Structure 1
Amino acid sequence: MNKLFSDTLKMGFVANQVIGLRLMKIATGGARGRRESRLMIDEKIKAAVDASIEAAMSVLAGQPHRAADRALAVYAKRVDRNLRRLSKR
Structure 2
Amino acid sequence: MNKLFSDAFKLSLAAHQVIGLRLMKIAIGGAHGRRESRLMVEEKIKAATDASMEAAKSVAAGEPHLAANRALSVYAKRVDQNLKRLTKG
TM tier, smaller = over 0.9
TM-score calculated relative to the size of structure 2: 0.99
CA displacement 1:25-73 (0-9 Å, x = unmatched)? 0000000000000000000000000000000000000000000000000
2:86 aligns to what?
A: 86
1:31 aligns with 2:46: no
Task: Provide structure 2 residue ranges, at least 5 long, that are not aligned to the other structure.
Answer: none
Matched ranges for 1:7-86 at <5 A: 7-86=7-86
1:4 aligns to what?
A: 4
User: Which whole-Å CA distance do the structure 2 matches of 1:88 and 1:26 have between them?
Assistant: 17
Identity %: 74
- The CA RMSD measured in Å over matched residues stands at 0.4
Task: Provide structure 1 residue ranges, at least 5 long, that are not aligned to the other structure.
Answer: none
Aligned residues: 89
**Structure 1 position 88, deviation (Å):** 1.2
